[in-house]
Amino acid sequence: MMEINKLRVGGLLLPSNILMAPLAGYTSYPFRMLAYGLGAGLCFTEMVSANALKYQDRANKLLLFTTKDEPIKAVQLLGGSPAIMEEMAKSSLLEGFDLIDINMGCPVPNVFKSGEGSALMLDMPRASAIIRACKKSGKPVSVKCRTGIREDEMFAAEFARMCEYSGADMVTIHGRSRSMMYGGTPCYQEIAQAKAAVSIPVIANGGIFCAAQAHEMIERTGADGIMVARYALENPFIFSELTQKPCGRTILDILLDQMELAAACYDESFTLVYMRKLASYAMKKRKGTKKYKAQLYQTGSLKELQELLLAIFS
């Protein structure tokens, strides 16, 4: 069994070592608040482009929505220019955030081709400069990366050492190379070697789709904690299962609460899109829900959506 501990990251003390991954389209403020309430120690915004923020892109600024109620505020920044990353890290836009996470793991082709995300693993001097630039904000900085670029060339330990040397306070390693994208068995040994190579916390990510796999990840890597990704959308109770934090709510309770919170923070259009996606994940392994899938995506108002949620999950 994995130990559930508090975790120190720079000057922050996280309430648990179970983290929620940044997920584009999902980890908006409502979902982060849900995960924190169920026992997550740290949750991140969706990936935010530093370039887009610099040019006042409205959609990217919306990703930064938070309130005083969010226990720890962590933003994930994507960028390839040390100067722009420093400017944004120190900007008033991120003033209210407690931690900056740098995306050095995104494998998506257009991100990779632009020299951002996992492409930074091929340019350690630039990756190091970006970490040092973000540290000038005075905030703790973490890095999310992969085990390498190709399966036949893994270098997680070397990359983690560079991160620590450059001032990173924590590193999260997705246990797959860039070429593996989101499939295949995680490379436990690579994460274990990275953990042995540094003194900062190492978080293990990838291939965790139940509590047993979370325990296995810790057992096989010796990591300081784990990061759950898409499985948390399907089963948000994973946080309370792992931390033993009492919940006492059903998936219907959670979905209705999420809809209410999203509607209070965003417009109806955003709320409908977000809730359709979240409900779709919640329906995944629920018998007899297939017939509702088309209806879910045809709902045109929050009232319609609420009625459908009651029909599906009651």
Domain boundaries, the chain: 7-243, 251-313
Candidate list 43, 106, 134, 187, residue with the active-site label: 106
Q: Is 106 a catalytic residue?
A: yes
Rg (CA), the chain: 19
Q: pLDDT per residue over 142-184, tens digit each?
A: 999 999 999 888 999 999 999 999 999 999 999 999 988 888 8
The answer to whether 16 and 4 have CB atoms below 8 angstroms apart is yes
Reported as a pLDDT band with limits 50, 70 and 90, residue 1 is low
Pairing of strands 74-78, 42-49: parallel
Higher-confidence residue of 258 and 57: namely 258
DSSP 8-state class, residue 119: G
Pairing of strands 148-150, 141-146: unpaired
Q: pLDDT per residue over 63-100, tens digit each?
A: 999 999 999 999 999 999 999 999 999 999 999 999 99
Q: pLDDT per residue over 229-281, tens digit each?
A: 999 999 999 999 999 998 899 999 999 999 999 999 999 999 999 999 999 99
What letter represents residue 47's amino acid? M
Is-above-0.85 flag for pTM? yes
Read off the tokens for 155: 């270098």
Closest-CA residue to 23 (of 11, 34, 9): 34
Pairing of strands 18-20, 12-14: unpaired
The answer to whether 148 and 156 have CB atoms below 8 angstroms apart is yes
DSSP 8-state class, residue 153: E
- Tokens 């100067």 belong to residue: 83
Reported as a pLDDT band with limits 50, 70 and 90, residue 117 is very high
Report the distance separating Cα 311 and Cα 201, nearest Å: 44
CATH number, domain 7-243: 3.20.20.70
Tell me what the mean pLDDT of segment 18-25 comes to. Answer: 97
Read off the tokens for 210: 């139940």
Tell me what the mean pLDDT of segment 206-210 comes to. Answer: 95
Percentage of the chain beyond pLDDT 70 is: 100
Tell me what the mean pLDDT of segment 274-294 comes to. Answer: 89
The answer to whether 207 and 217 have CB atoms below 8 angstroms apart is yes
What letter represents residue 288's amino acid? G
Alpha carbon distances (Å) from 295 to 240, 269, 278, 289, 300: 31, 17, 14, 11, 10
- Report pLDDT for 125: 98
- Report pLDDT for 241: 95
- Angle 285-287-290 from CA coordinates, rounded to 5°: 90
Report the distance separating Cα 122 and Cα 113, nearest Å: 12
What letter represents residue 54's amino acid? K
The answer to whether 2 and 242 have CB atoms below 8 angstroms apart is yes
Q: Average pLDDT, whole number, for the chain?
A: 95
